[in-house]
Chain A
Amino acid sequence: MAWAGGAEPHGDGRGDKRPAWDNKGQYLLSCLGFAVGLGNIWRFPYLCQTHGGGAFLIPYLIALVLEGIPVFYIELAIGQCLRRGSIGVWTAVSPYLGLGCLTVSFLVSLYYNTVLSWVLWYLLNSFQDPLPWSSCPLDINRTGAFEAECQASSTVSYFWYRQTLNITADISDNGSIQWRLLACLAASWAVVYLCVIRGIETTGKAIYFTALFPYLVLTIFLIRGLTLPGAVRGLIYLFTPNPGRGVQTLRNPRVWLDAATQIFFSLSLAFGGHIAFASYNPPRNNCEKDAVTVALVNSLTSLYASIAVFSVLGFKAANDHGNLLRLLNAFDLPDQSISRDDYAAVLAHLNATQPESVARLPLEVCQLEDFLDKSASGTGLAFVVFTEAVLHMPGAPGWAVLFFGMLFTLGLSSMFGNLEGIITPLLDLGVLRRSVPKEVLTGLVCLLCFLSATCFALQSGSYWLQVFDSYAAPLNLIIFAFFEVVGIAYVYGMPRFSDDIACMTGRRPGLYWRVTWKVVSPLLLLTIFVAYIAVLAWTPLSYRAWDPQYVGPLGATGSHFGPALAFPWCHTWQDGCPKLQEGGAS
């Protein structure tokens, strides 16, 4: 019959009846919450815009259809069929595969929750007016001047790098533990423990809020963002291909690689979390429809988020009017007489009539495009760019609370999946005696993760996180996914798997599924793996560092690339357009 692989149809390693979802909605929301994470907000919009907007969607959709959905379906099907976590499910293929998935889930939980603790810190600081990142603090002696580091960069960068992270200039310089970050880390692990304490019994209740709240906030931001001035320019910039590139975008292998990896990590494949979620399903459940639904909704969410994000970014860019003010003041033109659109024409006219005066002005070439090109991804987007955008919106604290609340719930629902990927296999293995309650196991896991993650609360913690995020997780996940697909298609056997699916969903998998599982997905994953290795080999390993002593080409201090393994340095330009100083003569 269908229950091949020697697994019992019911029950887990503990012998009691296996927990089950209260209803299908909880299961779908859990999978969706796990898939939709911080990357949908701050990675996809950046990629979409870097690779020319509308043109990027083509490789993205192709990767979704050929790689994302098939692997996702395999995970859900195998979990639902064998009703075990990742270790139990992959024993037929290789015992190390399940162990590897568990380890990667553990490592990713460590640094993912650290990012959440940063979000929590910002959330806690958003409940005040004016926001703490709106102004520079006075220097130590209170002589009336502002902190030098803050003046040289910007208030938001200063708040992020100095007052939050208190970052050192180098990864080898560890510094001391930041007790504020440690407290936030403890709080976020406590919140995660509260939600995961009884497994899906508690996450199933929490997921209603954590999975749906982000959509509500995104909608609010979308509506607000679209009504802000300059939003349309941001959107146009997002979707138009870069001038002179157009169709050539599709010929750039980097674009395909980015699309494939983005779809892969966006769906949170090979963590074991989806397998764990599906293992709590009733045996007869149409996991094919589930897989397609969740994958499509995940991609649509990415698109939705990028529209919201870029409309706000467009507004922020339109707000940079330092140059306009300089022109007005220097030539004594009426207040607000030059709009952003007239700027170019007026500048040309003035340059023609009074070139020497214009030359003396410290005008920077500050275009919308240049501004949107920089630091609009990852933590830079959330903690530097977006926080500054929020400052200019009326009712700033409210928007900040909404934004960081959304990020926190997004990350939290992904953490549920990560932790289920750890806890479910451990429960199935029966590491603790049956008499020991599940709360103890989850508590021990959370405690162990918290203690391991304290290294990220050091002053150089952010650098370690970058290194982890860039090098530790991605390669392993691709390898595991490759072995998952190959294991199912060739070791477990396609006929056996088709029988299982027929039993669960009512019909055998069609040609599309069989072809992608046997040929296309393994090939794609292998290609991504090889390309990743190639990129790693060619480019020196590096990380972005913040060095207060470093002075960039435009005279602004800021971040630059530092060596991850003592490779030669490569400096980059950062924070290009300094704002007009407030309160007095420029």
Chain B
Amino acid sequence: MLCLLFFLVTAVGAELCQPDAENAFKVRLSIRTALGDKAYAWDTNEEYLFKAMVAFSMRKVPNRETTEISHVLLCNVTQRVSFWFVVTDPSKNHTLPAVEIQSAIRMNRNRINSAFFLNDQTLEFLKIPSTLAPPTDPTMPIWMIIFSVIFCIVIVAVMLLIFSGIRQRRRKSKGPSEVDDTEDKCENMITIENGIPCDPLDTKGGHINDVFMTEDERLTPL
């Protein structure tokens, strides 16, 4: 009797959960794409976790707090990994409407994803669109901030160069007259070096040493 009941239950279950059945959803996982070397194998324990997560999501829906893990049926598990699932009501005769399951899964998508270390792209519920993040509209786009910074730096640098150029030109126009003054000063300094007027051609104040005779007188005329 018990065996018959068991068969009946599984038979009913098999009917309820079929590809393209009413209120059935296909799930597709891409574990290797998401985790690479750290990918885990998909076995019955992982399926149990999945059923638990779905049941958890359904329990959060008002009127469905009594959903059990056994109410979630999986079928057609392939190597891809993909499978179909349905959620039945406590009587296990009918499946819960797709709309309820959809909203429940969408509410808890994040929890389900993180339970498997996957994201919306690698754990796909076909026909359940993922909720997109709200568009971030920054008050000031980033490019404008960087643009203003660069533009200000450039303008400041141009101003600096222009002003330094003006200053250089002013110094140069003052420059030649200053150079002349110093040259005069140099001449004055030469002439009054050591307090003695150094004018080699000027014999004022000096005596001619008679020992050093001129060349002409040394050589006796022929």
Contact = CB atoms under 8 A, between A and B. Distances in A.
A518 interface: no
Interface stretch (A17-25, A42-50, A53-61, A333-341): A333-341
A138 B150 CA distance: 30
B121 A583 contact: yes
Contacts of A583: 120-121, 129-130, 132
Interface stretch (B4-12, B44-52, B74-82, B193-201): B74-82
A328 interface: yes
Given A194-B154, A333-B80, A335-B31, A127 B142 contact: yes
B142 A193 contact: no
A469 interface: no
Size bin of chain B's contact surface: 35 or more
Given A127-B142, A191-B154, A584-B130, A336 B161 contact: no
Nearest to B134: A142
A127 B146 CA distance: 8
B80 A202 contact: no
A334 B158 contact: no
A583 B127 CA distance: 11
Given A144-B129, A583-B120, A585-B127, A198 B165 contact: yes
Contacts of A142: 135
A186 B158 CA distance: 14
A135 to B, nearest CB: 10
Contact of B151 (A121, A190, A197, A332): A190
B92 interface: no
A385 interface: no
A187 B147 contact: yes
Interface string A520-559: 0000000000000000000000000000000000000000
Contacts of A186: 151
Nearest to B143: A124
A242 B73 CA distance: 57
A521 to B, nearest CB: 41
Interface of B: 28-33, 78-82, 120-121, 124, 126-127, 129-130, 132, 135, 142-143, 146-147, 150-151, 154-155, 157-158, 161-162, 165-166, 169
Interface of A: 121, 124-125, 127-128, 137-138, 142, 144, 183-184, 186-187, 190-191, 193-194, 197-198, 202, 328-329, 332-336, 437, 439, 582-585
27 contacts: A124-B143, A124-B147, A125-B143, A137-B135, A138-B135, A144-B129, A184-B147, A187-B147, A191-B150, A194-B154, A197-B161, A198-B161, A328-B80, A332-B78, A332-B79, A333-B79, A335-B30, A335-B33, A335-B80, A335-B81, A336-B32, A437-B169, A439-B165, A583-B120, A583-B121, A583-B130, A584-B130
